[in-house]
Structure 1
Amino acid sequence: MNRSFKIYVYPHRRNDPFANVLLPVDFEPGGNYASESYFKKALMKSHFITEDPAKADLFFLPFSISRLRHDPRVGVGGIQDFIRDYILNISRKYPFWNRTGGADHFYAACHSIGRSAMEKSEEVKFNAIQVVCSSSYFLSGYIAHKDVSLPQIWPRQGDPPNLASSKRKKLAFFAGSINSPVRERLLHSWRNDSEIFAHFGRLTTPYADELLGSKFCLHVKGFEVNTARIGDSLYYGCVPVIIANHYDLPFADILNWKSFSVVVATLDIPLLKKILKGISSDQYLMFQKKVLEVRKHFQWHCPPVDYDAFYMVMYELWLRRTSVRVSLPVSKVPNH
């Protein structure tokens, strides 16, 4: 992959009226949806980029859903129209989209709006590769195996903490708002338990301390299946417990999630303690060992480093590159 994978990015000038949407951000990404910006910044400076579309395996649609959301000219209500017009424009200006109906194209988005943004651009939704955090195959818009699950990762500076001295006295931990029936079920079953700490509302103790002090950390579906909690738990060496049906887990084509996480069906929430206590000490130590091995895959770096989140996404795209391969003339590319 490193030697031969090539991406062509549709070019845009810095004085383009929507340069803020189409070009990488010039600041350090932040917040829950930073993965979109980190990926785009890393890609645009990487050796995977080619200026010769004839050499490209895939074509990148560089619009930023996150930036479109906050642009007063577009906003949430105007994103679908913007994407529709953008695709119409490149299909008229360049020959690449029409060769495959966009099947060798991809875009990246971490906010759940990214998936619904394609409602007026059905070729994007059904043909293009969607690299999205909101990777539920229960809802329309995400197609498992065609699309890529992007991990939602909170930006952090420096190396992960040294976990040698962490004492994990709690069996399991969750903190968050009650914004789904799944979380309501968790609250109903475990809010007063002495071993499973299910907290709703603002914590009175540091979030990092709770992650470091728990054996298992719960990823519980809210409005969407994706949250930054998986990345958080891996960063602090806590074994993630996935309680979210129909979730296409990040990098599932590459990583064996059964080796470092526990998946619990939402209907089995009342059995959660029995399930976790049924894991032997030896089995838990194996889980945690794997957690420490895989957490490097859930970190962003500028510039990227081998095997980090950027390279994992690139490998997921690499696996999909042969699904569509066309060999047609690609001359007369407009200059910018």
Structure 2
Amino acid sequence: MTKSQDDEYMKQLEEQRRAFEAQFGSLESMGFEDKVKEKADESSESEESEEIECKNNDSTVNSESEDEESEVEECIIPKYKENSNASTSKSGPRVIKFNEPMDTYTEVDKKEQKRIRSGKTLRQLAEADERRQIIEDKKTKGAKNVDDNDEENLENDIELQRFLKESHLLSAFNQPGSDSNETSGVDLTLKSLKDDNVVYQDDQMLGKSRMRTLEMRLGQLSQTNGHSKKLGKLEKVPMNIRRGMIDKHVKRIKQYEQDAVDGGIILSKVKKGQFRKIESTYKKDIERRIGQSIKTQDKERQTKRQRGLKIQAVGRSTRNGLIISKEDISRIGGTVGNKRKWNSKSSSNNNNKRRR
């Protein structure tokens, strides 16, 4: 090979080396020795030394030669040091240092294992995490809004139920022909109910109406907590007076029901034995003295009727006599369909004898 061919070949190798370093990095960064660079450095050093020798031979003055030698030494020594340091760094092993030694093994989470097995890039995983976080945030916001709406609806329902239970008190204490001229605050509440901007409030109720509503709420709380027996106790009243109060109250209820029938008003049903609640029950607070029903009648109603001994009886007795059904007759006589059992048995036996 000629010199020109060698130069071209070296140029091609140099271009190939540069392309490799541009894509993968230098061999030194990977921990390998680059022998091509070492040869190039040695050749450059030899050329420089030859040039320096020529200069030394051409010089005639000792002082000039000494100055040139000192300059050459100054130029050569740092290069030699750099090469020696590079050779030591290249030939030495790669040392990896950690800040803290980890003796304990930490297991990888299942989520991390799934992410590794998925085969996705870090960018794709980050985008998926962002999407998941956005969806979770939307769900939490929606759940919070739903919870807030549920709480508001529940509060409104409780207020509505309370108002319906206490509305009879408002109407009873707001009659125009009431005995007391003192304002109880109920008329203000009834006026405020007509306005859309005003809400039904307990603070607007005063006097007896407020006292009765509080008593009613306390009674409901005690019933839920299981103290209904204490609520059933009545005030101590003489027996004759209590009977007179019951009779008077029953007459008022009958008059109220008769007026409703005459006026074409349909009243709600009441439990058997209990007194109907009318305006006088709330105005006079009569349930505290006579109760909600007559206890003797309740006991009679709750007692079970004695039905006699549990024996096999036939038919049912009425005022017209004993009535026996066809089922009872067939059960006792033993008929199958329209035929009697003994007839069916005898016919079956005769048929069997004939076959034999």
For Structure 1 versus Structure 2, the TM-score category normalised by the shorter chain is: under 0.3
Q: TM-score, normalised by structure 2?
A: 0.17
Higher strand proportion: 1
Q: TM-score, normalised by structure 1?
A: 0.18
Higher helix proportion: 2
Please tell me whether Structure 1 or Structure 2 has the larger radius of gyration of its CA atoms: 2
The higher-RCO structure (CA 8 Å, 6+ apart) is: 1
